[in-house]
A and B are shown apart, each in its own frame.
Chain A
Amino acid sequence: MWLPLIGILIGIYLGMTLPLNIPTAYSSYMSIAVLAALDSVFGGIRASLEKKFEADVFISGFFGNAILAAALAYIGDRLDVPIYLAAIFVFGSRLFQNFAMLRRYFLGYLRRKSFSAEKDDK
């Protein structure tokens, strides 16, 4: 539970201190990278809760999705059509789906817990 939080903190620290500057022109790629990472994290949490987590699927999913999205954004830039919106749409809707699953899982967990607590009282 604490490891991902520490990971985020380390990531933020690195992002703020590393002297890597991303030009403004690539800000749409940045947003896709953020979304891809978010999508992977949520997907990973969901998979691990469902006991279906596989490391190779997880890693390849992140990089594959990110590369495909970046390629779409690049083509969109060339064609002057914001195709990267498609990637944002997919990532966004998957985010919400995964979040909904996580929510159900935790609510069910809490419900079972309170149910068993009530049973214990009686």
Chain B
Amino acid sequence: MAKKAKGKKPTFFADPQVDKLMAIVMALAGEVSVLRERLDTVERLAENKGLLSRQEIEAYRPNPQAAEEREQWRTEYVRRVLRVVREELEAVERGETTPESYEAAIQAVSS
């Protein structure tokens, strides 16, 4: 079955790569929504079976160790999501922001 509709796809941004990025971001947003619905189903089924109540979930307060582990996870998560921003800064710090700087590296190993 064909996946793409026949006909040239329009682009809207000055750089068509941004259009592509938008589509990828929205696909991810869609999958987050799919996961959220599945989790919601799990919670409701678990509640129906008396395994837990959703009030228990709402009332849950992590103990200090759990809170610390969660904080570590969130820190790592944010770092992963914003990886490109951190790497941009590292590149500035190392002076590797121009194409010439990389071409120099090619020259260095090729000559």
Q: Is the A/B pair a real complex?
A: no
Report B's interface with A, CB cutoff 8 A: none
